[in-house]
């Protein structure tokens, strides 16, 4: 069963890849990792395996996961039926523009009205209220855009503001789903760095299916 979420302040600090900072003896190293650097958006084609294993893990106890990782697939279809596809990932941290906003600002700042867009997101956790609002506004003004959002975890799902934001996403036409074990495997195969000349099989973590069912039930209750 997924454990109850706690705030990062209540738990031991960790680095972005899950390293336990309490085990660090060097005060300078500890200070360097605990202090938040300037906000930045990182983009690329494949993310490091250790980031995936830590950030995408579908536990509810999400201490230390102060980023959102967003893997995307964009399919743009012309009237003639030709499809152009692209993929990549973004990561954010801290409190400025989040990955969802950055996608629309940097990856898809404009939409060609002559094309139909099918966009799929695999996100480590579901959007905050502000990002959900940005998605809703984009969907309402971009009639040729369809968005499928698959989330590894639900972000602060007990908060009424978050629940209302998720319902608004559904009403705006965004398809919301919790990532199944096979979705995590898809991300592993298509968005995670593999060792050169070798493709390592995805190894599901303990309770991956149980935690999927937990979050899937919570999302269904929120959206009904």
Among all residues, which ones are annotated catalytic? 100
CB atoms within 10 A of CB 73: 17
**Residue 209 phi/psi, 5° resolution?**
-70, -45
User: In 3-state terms, what secondary structure has residue 224?
Assistant: coil
| Beta strands in 18-82, from DSSP E residues, in sequence order | 42-44, 69-77
Secondary element (H or E) of residue 178: strand 175-178
Contact (CB, 8 A) for 73 and 85? yes
CB atoms within 10 A of CB 49: 15
């Amino acid at each position: 069963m997924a454990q109850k979420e706690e705030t990062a302040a209540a738990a031991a600090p960790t680095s972005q890849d899950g390293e336990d900072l309490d085990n660090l003896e060097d005060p300078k190293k500890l200070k360097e990792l605990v202090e938040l650097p300037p906000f930045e958006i990182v983009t690329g084609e494949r993310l490091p395996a250790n980031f995936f294993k830590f950030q995408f893990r579908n536990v509810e106890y999400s201490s230390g996961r102060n980023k959102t990782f967003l893997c995307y697939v964009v399919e743009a279809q012309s009237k003639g039926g030709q499809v152009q596809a692209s993929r990549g990932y973004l990561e954010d941290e801290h409190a400025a523009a989040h990955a969802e906003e950055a996608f629309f600002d940097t990856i898809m700042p404009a939409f060609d009205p002559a094309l139909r867009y099918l966009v799929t997101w695999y996100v480590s956790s579901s959007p905050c209220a502000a990002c959900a609002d940005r998605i809703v506004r984009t969907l309402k003004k971009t009639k040729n855009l369809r968005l499928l959002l698959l989330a590894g975890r639900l972000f602060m799902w007990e908060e009424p503001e978050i629940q209302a934001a998720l319902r608004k996403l559904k009403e705006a036409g965004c398809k919301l789903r919790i990532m199944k074990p096979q979705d995590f495997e898809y991300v592993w195969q298509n968005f995670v760095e593999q060792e050169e000349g070798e493709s390592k099989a995805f190894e599901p973590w303990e309770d991956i299916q149980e935690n999927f069912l937990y979050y899937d039930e919570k999302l269904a209750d929120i959206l009904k």
